[in-house]
Amino acid sequence: MPGMDVAIEDVRRRVGSAIFSLVAGADGPAGRERLRDIEGPRNFPLRSPIVRVHADASMFVGGLSALLLQSLHPLAMAGVAGHSDYRGDPWGRLARTSHFLAATTYGTPADARRAVDTVRAIHRRVRGVATDGRRYSASDPHLLSWVHVAEVTSFLAAHRAYGADRLSAAEYDEYVAQSGEIAAALGAREVPGSVAELRAQLDRYRPELRGTSAARAAARYLVFDPPLPFPARGAYVPVAAAAVALLPRWARWPLRLPWLPVTEATVVRGAGDAVTRTIRWALSAPPATDR
């Protein structure tokens, strides 16, 4: 029925616009249009693995999982707790992260350099002393490498679980190498170049990781008490459950997050697949002007 099709398409477009605006902020739509219209070379070719991974709806799950995993490093978590307004302005922080990923993944080399320079300038101001007395700095190459390893581990796991366009083993290695170029530009020195190197580096960080009170508080906030109106939490629950399920088993207890293997393999996996499919469907709607 033509009328029903138009109504469904309108709902799809409205939902997609709401999701995109929430993630990318008020300037997101204009930025997306500019990136679509770029002529000439981009930082990465349009069909390269990093573009395919970062453009997929699985990033919603992978991004949340990355935040949880990153919090296990006490110095990284101290920097977030002391300098990031993740409770007061969570959507602003998300929009800034979204802009950085978009500029470095889909933009021109000049776009990527500007985004990297902006983040490096912010990092230079983020320094202090953790509760255990150790000094930290967001510009520390070792901490930058940890943040990168946690992100790529989580993005990779999410794409393998929920991505629409699965990659080959060689392409996943290329994804790790391409994302490492951005990490190196930010100042990271220990940058893995393949999936095997990524896993090995994650294992090397494990002795440094533990669940601090700040990390557990962040996990409770992100998983159980997100800054969303009650009606929207119904859609968030499967995203959060899927994000927790992607974490390595050893990462659960330090954050006081459950490990339910049967439930995660059935209910959570099915719900995660459904919500990423729905997000993908909504975000692929063309703008009203294209109709």
Question: With 0-12 CB in 10 A as exposed, 13-18 as middle and 19+ as buried, what is 53?
Answer: buried
Tokens of 237: 């629950």
Residue 266's pLDDT is 86
Q: By C-alpha distance, which of 158, 146, 22, 19 is closest to 90?
A: 22
Residue 36 has pLDDT above 50, yes or no: yes
pLDDT of residue 252 exceeding 80, the answer is yes
Window from 47-56, 75-84, 208-217 with minimum mean pLDDT: 75-84
Average pLDDT over residues 243-263: 92
Average pLDDT, the chain: 84
Task: Calculate what percentage of the chain has a pLDDT beyond 90.
Answer: 54
For every residue of the chain, DSSP letters joined together read -HHHHHHHHHHHHHHHHHHHHHHH-TTHHHHHHHHHT--S--SS-TTSHHHHHHTSTTHHHHHHHHHHHHTTSHHHHHHHHHH--TTTSHHHHHHHHHHHHHHHHHS-HHHHHHHHHHHHHHHHH-EEE-TTS-EEETT-HHHHHHHHHHHHHHHHHHHHHH-SS---HHHHHHHHHHHHHHHHHHT-SS---SHHHHHHHHHHHGGG----HHHHHHHHHHHHS-SS-HHHHHHHHHHHHHHHHHS-GGGTGGGT----HHHIIIIIHHHHHHHHHHHHHHHTPPPGGG-
In this prediction, residue 30 carries a pLDDT of 60
Interacting residues of 200 by C-beta distance below 8 A, sequence separation 6+:
192
Q: Are 146 and 205 in contact (CB under 8 A)?
A: yes
Helices 2-24 and 28-36: crossing angle, nearest 10°? 100
Nearest Cα neighbor of 106 from 22, 173, 50, 183 is 50
Least confident of 31-35, 65-69, 203-207: 31-35
pTM of the predicted model, to two decimals?
Answer: 0.86
How long a stretch of residues is the chain?
Answer: 291
Give the residue among 204, 281, 251 at the shortest CA–CA distance from 68: 251
Residue 256 pLDDT > 90, yes or no?
Answer: yes
- The mean pLDDT of 164-179, rounded to a whole number, is 95
Mean pLDDT of 117-122: 94
**168 pLDDT more than 90:** yes
